[in-house]
């Protein structure tokens, strides 16, 4: 009877000792404080602390369109683009694109997270679109700060790096600088003459530091002129603003006529500046004249479509035809007949 009472206790002690035995490693793990003496245990620890496996990264790159769908490896530049896409998402790129373009179609892809939620990934095309639209906004900002027209392309950072490319797209340094501007962080840039301006008045120590000899490449204080050979090159005479126009058209924008732009102003009762701020309308001054472009997904396209439809049917909005002459017919004078 006494022996039967001890049986459950003995069984419980035996089970506990077996569970605590260091010879048994549950699922390849290790007991806290145990010395690593097994390659299996060491591999399990490394796996727990290792970065995401390569197959996870390559699947994300394929999903974002950074690498082809059949690719199994990536280049350093492609990995850098992946990191930039992630960073743009943290900065609110989706809200930025929705506000500027009105849609994320083709610019983001949905995916299923491990927790079962649906997420959005910025695609490589979406990142390029983000930089393109951000460049347009930055161009207008720097114009408002006194760098008009071609002067915008000649702006540089304090370490003598260009802010824009020749096509009007922000460089990596330019993106960093302008994002500081948008976040209301003190940022400074330099005109070709060497004058330093920024979001706030440049500190005296900053001006003294960059004013030292060889602090930056010396530039003439007078207004820079193009190279002499460019005046005789007919291909370079009509390039102002055309790079931006080509880029917009390549991204899907539609060109409007001057009459259509006036129609939008009349219907919305907004100024050109207000219309640009509240829509995707882009007004670009080129050597060939002013160009008006708008995104096809912009709500204002409905006004343009009705305007064009009315012009085709001769309805109000079409260009009036010149009036026909309706004066009295001239009377024929009698002429003497031949005798």
pLDDT level of residue 175 (50, 70, 90 thresholds): very high
In a domain, 228, yes or no: no
In a domain, 322, yes or no: no
| Residue 336, pLDDT above cutoff 80 | no
| Residue 188, pLDDT above cutoff 80 | yes
In a domain, 169, yes or no: yes
Confidence at residue 126, expressed as pLDDT on a 0 to 100 scale: 94
Residues 6+ apart with CB under 8 A from 58: 67, 71, 72, 73, 74
| Residue 203, pLDDT above cutoff 60 | yes
Residue 161, helix vs strand vs coil: coil
Q: Are residues 197 and 289 in the same domain?
A: no
Residue spans of beta strands (DSSP E) within the chain: 108-112, 118-122, 188-190, 196-198, 254-256, 282-286, 289-294
Dihedral of CA atoms 203, 208, 214, 216 in degrees, nearest 10, equals 20
Q: Determine the structural domain holding residue 307 and report its residue range.
A: 240-313
| Residue 290, pLDDT above cutoff 50 | yes
Tens of pLDDT, residue by residue over 66-79, are 999 888 889 998 99
Confidence at residue 330, expressed as pLDDT on a 0 to 100 scale: 57
Look at 156-160, 181-185, 332-336 and tell me which has the smallest mean pLDDT: 332-336
In a domain, 229, yes or no: no
Output the furthest CA–CA distance in the chain (Å, rounded).
Answer: 166
Q: Are residues 91 and 179 in the same domain?
A: yes
Q: Are residues 160 and 275 in the same domain?
A: no
Count the Cβ atoms, other than its own, within 10 Å of residue 25. Answer: 15
Q: Are residues 108 and 142 in the same domain?
A: yes
pTM: 0.47
Q: Are residues 86 and 185 in the same domain?
A: yes
Look at 6-15, 97-106, 190-199 and tell me which has the smallest mean pLDDT: 6-15
Q: Are residues 185 and 298 in the same domain?
A: no
Q: Are residues 59 and 206 in the same domain?
A: yes
Look at 31-35, 85-89, 109-113, 168-172 and tell me which has the smallest mean pLDDT: 31-35
Compute the distance between CA of residue 28 and CA of residue 25 in angstroms, rounded to an integer.
Answer: 5
Compute the distance between CA of residue 131 and CA of residue 137 in angstroms, rounded to an integer.
Answer: 10
Q: Are residues 84 and 197 in the same domain?
A: yes
Averaged pLDDT of the chain: 74
Q: Considering its fold, how many domains does the chain have in total? A: 2
């Amino acid at each position: 009877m006494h022996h039967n009472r001890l049986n459950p206790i003995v069984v419980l002690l035996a089970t506990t000792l077996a569970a605590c035995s260091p010879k048994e490693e549950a699922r390849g793990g290790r007991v806290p404080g145990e010395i690593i003496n097994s390659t299996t245990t060491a591999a399990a620890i490394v796996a727990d602390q290792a970065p995401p496996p390569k197959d996870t990264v390559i699947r994300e790159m394929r999903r974002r369109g950074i690498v082809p769908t059949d690719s199994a490896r990536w280049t350093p530049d492609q990995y850098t683009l992946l990191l930039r896409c992630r960073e743009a998402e943290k900065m609110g790129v989706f809200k930025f694109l929705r506000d500027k373009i009105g849609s994320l179609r083709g610019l983001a892809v949905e995916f299923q997270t491990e927790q079962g939620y649906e997420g959005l990934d910025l695609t490589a095309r979406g990142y390029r679109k983000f930089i393109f639209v951000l460049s347009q906004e930055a161009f207008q900002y720097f114009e408002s700060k006194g760098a008009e027209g071609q002067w915008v392309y000649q702006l540089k950072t304090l370490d003598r790096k260009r802010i824009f490319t020749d096509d009007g797209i922000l460089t990596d340094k330019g993106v960093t600088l302008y994002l500081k501007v948008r976040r209301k962080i003190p940022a400074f840039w330099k005109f070709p003459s060497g004058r330093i301006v920024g979001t706030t008045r440049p500190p005296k120590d900053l001006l003294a530091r960059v004013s030292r000899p060889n602090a930056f490449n010396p530039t003439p204080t007078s207004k820079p002129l193009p190279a002499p050979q460019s005046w005789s090159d007919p291909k370079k005479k009509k390039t102002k603003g055309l790079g931006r126009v080509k880029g917009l058209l390549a991204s899907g924008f539609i060109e409007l006529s001057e009459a259509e732009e006036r129609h939008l102003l009349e219907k919305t009762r907004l100024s050109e500046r207000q219309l640009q701020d509240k829509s995707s309308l882009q007004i670009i001054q080129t050597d060939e004249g002013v160009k008006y472009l708008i995104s096809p997904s912009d709500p204002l396209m409905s006004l343009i479509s009705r305007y064009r439809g009315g012009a085709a049917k001769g309805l109000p909005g079409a260009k009036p035809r010149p009036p026909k002459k309706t004066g009295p017919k001239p009377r024929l004078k009698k002429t003497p007949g031949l005798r």
